[in-house]
Structure 1
Amino acid sequence: MFGFSEALWNQKVPFTPPSMYVLGDSLVDAGNNNDLLRSVSKANFPHYGIDFPKKTATGRFSNGKIAADFLGEKVGMGIPYPYFSMLFNFSENFHWRDSINFASGGAGIYNWTNGMSQSVPLSRQVNYFSSVQKDLRKELTPHGAYDKLKSSIFMIVIGSNDIFANSESSKLRNQTTPQQYLNSMAIQLKEQIKLLYDYYARKFVIMGVGLLGCTPTERIKNETKECNIQLNQWSINYNRALRSMLKGLKAEFDDIDYSYFDTYSLMQKIIKNPATFGLEEVKAACCGLGNLNAEGRCQRTAKYCSNRNNHFFWDAYHPTEKVHRIFVDYMYNGTLHYVYPMNVERLLQVIN
């Protein structure tokens, strides 16, 4: 269906990309918001990081590692390092690091999404990458930089905050229909990917949004603790627009290759059959306060579950380390049902 034979799909050829770059929101923020003085979207305090090496809160919105960390390890690059930490550490030349993470908690595709929280929107993250690319051009020559970046992996995880913003703002809903808004998100994302293309990016790993209506913070709005059906439908519709955009982008730029990870479908499978994945609790957050641990933030005074591996959600919005690992396992060598037109393992083998 996608032009890959079974033999090609099953072929295993070890390959390590020259670099890995991560752009996105809190699902993949590795601590960039720690260096934003006025940011209210931070996770640099207990109990975050309780399962991270040295049990340290690093700014990751998780009890441990996140998808960007696991993917970096899977492709042989190690954990991507937060850009701002590199930028402000003048003793090191961050441009030569193999993995750089630009993601920012609260970020959106639109510049104004969560603007009050001092997040770094996608467009600014792309601008930060452009400065890295410019320095690589100086150090490696334009041809050397192109050879390095065309084989590198660009992971993009964003869109959830834009959808939440639309659901919470009657003003936005009065200005446009939900589908127009979601289509516009995909168009805006396309423009940023095209800018990355201008900066020599050719290989992309794109995560669709999950069941946003099934997060603990949405469930507590319903007396039955069921998912927000409308928000989930918006997630479905955005993912559909995103897939269509990516197919069109590939038709426009033949040397672009990508792995689209269907977060929604896998999340749905996990929630319906948690025991299959070694989970028990898929409604309540592990860390927080009140109903489903979603009425208060995961902070020093919050309670947290003793076995994080039983829970899908770490806090009111974000998955546990275990779920991040499951996502990346499927992303890396899963079937076409969850990642297409090829998984990341196959994406690494594509020669531009």
Structure 2
Amino acid sequence: MVAMGKLWMYCMVVCLGLALSDIVSGQVGNPFLPDGGKRREMVPAMFVFGDSLIDNGNNNDLPSFAKANYFPYGIDFNGGPTGRFSNGYTMVDEIAELLGLPLIPAFSEASGDQVLHGVNYASAASGILDITGRNFVSRIPFDRQIRNFQTTLDQITDNLGAIDAAEALAKCIFFVGMGSNDYLNNYLMPNYPTKDQYNGQQYADLLVQKYTQQLRTLYNLGARKFVVAGLGRMGCIPSIIAQSTADGCSEEVNQLVLPFNANVKTMMNNLNADLPGSRFIYVDIAHLFEDIVTNARTYGFSVVDRGCCGIGRNRGQITCLPFQTPCENRDEYVFWDAFHPTEKVNIIMATKAFNGDPSIVYPINIQQLASL
């Protein structure tokens, strides 16, 4: 643990002195990176909270039906299936690379020096509400993800001391992408009472009230730079399309999630005003998705409404089965399975979130946030 503390301190010193080093030498070496450190680290670390869109293995050892640690998941990932719900990279994998960081390890696997550049706490089937995702049995809701972060924070503080740990954390990126399952695996599930208890606006209000408390908790633990991802056009995912009797997206579901995204934007403006030193930015996933579908041919996509692997209508009724043979032309598909985008889409979205304009990421992009 002492050695880890020294490494953390060195990492922080390297990051704080990075701009000067770049001017002097034009290139920075960092011994923590697997490639010998021939790239710049823009932040000391990134901490990730979310669901299956960015889970990278936290559910692997849980008694859960929400797992992706088997082929064909990971077919295009160096190392094969890891628990990522993708054929390759997730969105946060690409963001980590753009920030000059190595891939962020899952909390379930990270120990010692592995937490040096951050930890991924995301869990498939998890939600803002603890009750979300119970159909999948075990999962790690957002509240518990935050408690897991506290465990990591205790390790950091024990080694760095409270003041130095706080200074380092204030420079780190906290990526949060929650809410999809609170609709898919709660509100829209027939065995949940939620739809009978709340209309769309009331449910969005409930979710964002809870979400605000959770983000305030992360702030109180030392987080300052937040990247919050909105919900995509969920009525257009193969799973929802497969349930519809009509062709194309379910506009009913698309309309259902609009109040959530609107509330999140309002929440972020309020938090930026209320929490000293905080910077919250919003990634408009719905806008990104619309752009990709509208300009599908420009991006090289030919299939926008069904999964590359899966069973049933639009390959969306059952997700990828173990050892199922997926489509060969994966870069032409927007969706990998019934719920999740392909690596290509993840990389496009990450890149636009990193350096895009305010129509995509508001009020500043991730690159600008990292440089503050």
Q: Is TM more than 0.5 here? A: yes
Counterpart check, 1:29 vs 2:50: no
Task: Tell me which residue corresponds to 1:39.
Answer: 64
Residue among 205, 219, 239 paired with 1:183: 205
Q: Give the corresponding residue for 1:50.
A: 75
Aligned equivalent of 2:132: 113
Give the deviation of 1:296 after TM superposition: 2.3
The equivalent residue for 2:340 is 318
* Counterpart amino acid of residue 75 in structure 1: L
Partner of 2:86: 62
Separation in 2, partners of 1:79, 1:316: 25
Q: Is the counterpart of residue 102 in structure 1 residue 126 in structure 2?
A: no
The residue identity in structure 1 corresponding to 2:83 is G
CA distance in 1, matches of 2:317, 2:156: 46
- Mean CA deviation greater in 167-176 or 270-279: 167-176
3-state SS of 1:100 partner: coil
The number of aligned residues is 331
- TM-aligned CA deviation for residue 47 of structure 1: 0.5
Q: Is the 8 A contact 1:34 1:44 kept in 2?
A: yes
What pairs with 1:1-352 in structure 2 (closer than 5 Å)?
A: 16-36=42-62, 38-54=63-79, 56-87=80-111, 92-95=112-115, 97-117=116-136, 118-164=138-184, 165-169=186-190, 171-300=193-322, 302-350=324-372
| Cα RMSD, aligned residues only | 1.5
Q: How far did residue 301 of structure 1 move?
A: 5.3
CA contact (8 A) 1:35 1:85 kept: no
Q: 1:304 to 1:15 in 2, by over 3 A?
A: closer
8 Å Cα contact 1:71/1:328 also seen in 2:
yes
Matched AA of 1:245:
M
User: What CA distance in whole angstroms lies between the structure 1 residues aligned with 2:253 and 2:324?
Assistant: 27
Whole-Å separation in 2 of the counterparts to 1:285 and 1:161: 19
Contact residue 47 and residue 174 of structure 2 kept, 8 A? yes
What is the CA distance between 1:204 and its match in structure 2? Answer: 0.6
What is the CA deviation profile of residues 143-196 of structure 1, one whole-angstrom value per residue up to 9, with x for unaligned ones? 100011000000001100001221224621221222111111111111111111
Name the SS for the 2:54 alignment partner.
Answer: coil
Contact conserved, 1:281 with 1:310, CA < 8 A, in 2?
yes
Matching residue's letter, 1:147: E
CA contact (8 A) 1:78 1:99 kept: no
**Letter paired with 2:105:** Y
Q: Partners of 2:216 and 2:143 in 1: how far apart? A: 11
Alpha carbons 2:105, 2:114 under 8 Å: kept = no
Contact in 1 for aligned 2:42/2:371 (Cα 8 Å): no
Amino acid at match of 1:64: G
- Given that 1:77 and 1:99 are in contact with CA atoms closer than 8 Å, whether structure 2 keeps it comes out as no
Q: What per-residue deviation string (whole Å, max 9, x for no partner) do you get for residues 52-100 of structure 1?
A: 014x11100000010111111110111110011125xxxx4444x2121
Identity of aligned residues (%): 33
Q: What do residues 232-288 of structure 1 show as CA deviations (whole Å, max 9, x unaligned)?
A: 012221100110011111111131102210000110121222112111100010001
Amino acid at match of 1:66: T
Q: Deviations over 1:114-140 (max 9, x none)?
A: 124211000000001011112211211
In 2, the alpha carbon distance for the partners of 1:137 and 1:31 equals 26
Q: 1:266, 1:68 → 2: CA distance?
A: 15
Moved segments of 4+, more than 6 Å:
none
Structure 1 residue 224: deviation in Å?
3.4
Partners of 1:191 and 1:312 lie apart in 2 by 34
Matching residue's letter, 2:289 = M
1:260 match: secondary structure:
strand
Shift of 1:221: 2.0
Letter aligned with residue 115 of structure 1: R
1:333 maps to a residue whose letter is N
- CA–CA separation in structure 2 for the residues paired with 1:28 and 1:296: 20
| 2-structure distance, mates of 1:109, 1:295 | 25
Q: Distance in 2 between matches of 1:129 and 1:301?
A: 34
Contact 2:68 2:84 in 1 (8 A): yes
Checking the alignment, whether the CA contact within 8 Å between 1:15 and 1:349 is kept in structure 2 is: no
- State the 1:202 CA deviation: 0.1
Letter in 1 for 2:151: S
CA–CA separation in structure 1 for the residues paired with 2:280 and 2:340: 25
